[in-house]
Amino acid sequence: MLIQSDERMETRETTSFMVGVIEGFYGQPWTMAERFELFGWMARWGLNTYLYAPKDDLNHRALWRQLYSPSEAKTLGQLIEACQQSQIRFIYALSPGLDIRYSNEDELDHLKKRFEQMNGLGCQHFSLFFDDIPDGLETEDTGRLGSLASAQCHVANSLFKWILGSCPDARFLFCPTAYCGRMADGKLGGEGYLATIGRELLREIDIFWTGPEIISREITVNHVQALREVLRRKPLIWDNLHANDYDGHRFFCGPYSGRAPELRAEVSGLMCNPNTEFPLNYVPLRTLAEFARCRGAWDARAAYLAAIQEWLPYFETVGRQVTLEDLICFGDCYYLPYEEGPEGRSLYASARSLLAQNPSEWGDQAALFQARAARLRDFCVRLSELRQRPLFYALNRRLWELREELDLLDRYVRMKSENPSPGILGSSDFHLPGTYRGGIVAGLQGLLVQQANGGFAPTHAA
């Protein structure tokens, strides 16, 4: 196992290269204590940029015209000061795209007042988001500005020029409506949307991009080089690899992967939009930091194992202690969106193989699977005794769900081992209809089955 420490890590200068964290998910924003802990991680690991953009901060998106109250402003000022003390670039983002009237100068005044308030709190870097919005224009805006892309460039360019008057060194970021390859291929934003953005948006403005998909398994050098021709600048990667706001059943604590170190030379930065639950982001952000400054080939698995070992002290309990091997196995069950870690894959494969056989032929395989499942189930139980309660609360629902499935499999295997007759169905008094996998969401999920090609078919036709 490769173990690295802060003292042994090789570094490279990335003074203008942005690498860091986006608080940009849908869901409850992080607490101040969590953000301060984040800044401590970032300062130790060499991450240099924090972007404040929680979708459910009402003043960020739904009430973008409204100034923060004095108490809210004070809180944001404390965040900005904490970043400055840790030499972290603080960037504030606004997302006005849901209802902005692009050709109305009063709207631009609202944006200026919002950024002026933030500048008064010490913020010098800003971002404008036009993601996840309707991709049409009002008739008046179309008549005056032509297209959605031109309208957005008009607002962003005007705002950026104004900001430079008080913040001459400002970094200004722009999130387009079509922010991944699939959206661009589908002509989201209209015909030639990205080409217009690349042509009309001032060159000093960075443009966010998530890769081929919203959650991209890989972001290749070739993909980014082709995009650079359209955007006429290096894109800034908004990386959703570890985001989980779209799936509350999962979180992702696998390593930063699917990106080659050569990608760093083709982009203006790498910004991670991670798990909604802050305590679950140690490994994702630790390995991002390692990736940003690694030399030579990138070994994502080795970085994961090293980061998991560093994360282990957070799992101190009041009872029997968590082992590194058990934590690795658990982490492998919540690895990355498109893959589980080796231990997780192995556990699933052993269960699937077992259930595909006649129970009369199981032999020792059943006992081996039950032993593995029991160990992981016991690990889930032990985590209820974590001293760091926020970590336990972030994990709790996932732990319970995993325990339930392991318990059901164990009961089924035990019952069929004792009576392998095909006419006998497995049963469990603890997994009853309605209380287990119940509710309307579970019912709706059972109506359509996803096929191997990504399409869907009704359950009865699958």
pLDDT digits (tens, 9 = 90+) for 7-66: 333 333 334 899 999 999 999 999 999 999 999 999 999 999 999 999 999 999 999 999
Q: What is the DSSP letter of 359?
A: G
- What pLDDT, on a 0 to 100 scale, did the predictor assign at position 273? 98
Q: What is the pLDDT of residue 8?
A: 34
Widest CA span of the chain, in angstroms?
80
User: Worst-scoring range by mean pLDDT, 103-117, 213-227, 365-379, 419-433?
Assistant: 419-433
The whole-number average pLDDT for the span 147-153 is 96
Domain range 324-430, CATH class: mainly alpha
What tokens does 226 get? 């082709």
Instruction: Name the architecture of domain 16-298.
Output: Alpha-Beta Barrel (3.20)
Distance between CA atoms of residues 71 and 116, nearest Å: 17
67-79: per-residue pLDDT in tens? 999 999 999 999 9
Residues 114 and 279: their CA atoms lie apart, in Å, by 31
Share the mean pLDDT of the chain. Answer: 93
> In whole angstroms, how far apart are CA 177 and each of 126, 145, 193, 285, 378?
18, 17, 9, 26, 46
State residue 1's pLDDT score.
32
How many residues are there in the chain? 462
Q: Which residue has the higher pLDDT, 203 or 422?
A: 203
Q: How far apart are CA 50 and CA 43, in angstroms?
A: 11
Residue 11 vs residue 247, higher pLDDT: 247
**Predicted pLDDT of residue 6:** 39
Contact 385, 317 (CB under 8 A): yes
Spatial contact of 103 and 144, defined as CB atoms under 8 Å apart: yes
The residue ranking higher by pLDDT, 436 or 295, is 295
- Catalytic option among 132, 135, 245, 407: 132
Q: Predicted confidence band at 3 (pLDDT cuts at 50, 70, 90)?
A: very low
Closest by CA position to 120, among listed 164, 171, 76, 182:
76
> At CA 1, angle to CA 291 and CA 393, rounded to 5?
70
Judged against a pLDDT cut of 90, whether residue 86 lies above it is answered with: yes
378 is catalytic: no
SS3 at position 188:
coil
**What is the rounded CA–CA span in Å between residue 346 and residue 361?**
20
Tell me the domain boundaries of the chain.
16-298, 324-430
Q: What is the pLDDT of residue 373?
A: 95
* 367-376 own/partner pairs: CB under 8 Å, 24+ apart: 369/409, 369/413, 370/410, 370/413, 370/414, 372/347, 373/347, 373/406, 373/409, 373/410, 374/406, 374/410, 375/326, 375/329, 376/326, 376/329, 376/330, 376/333, 376/347, 376/402, 376/406
Residue 461 pLDDT:
55
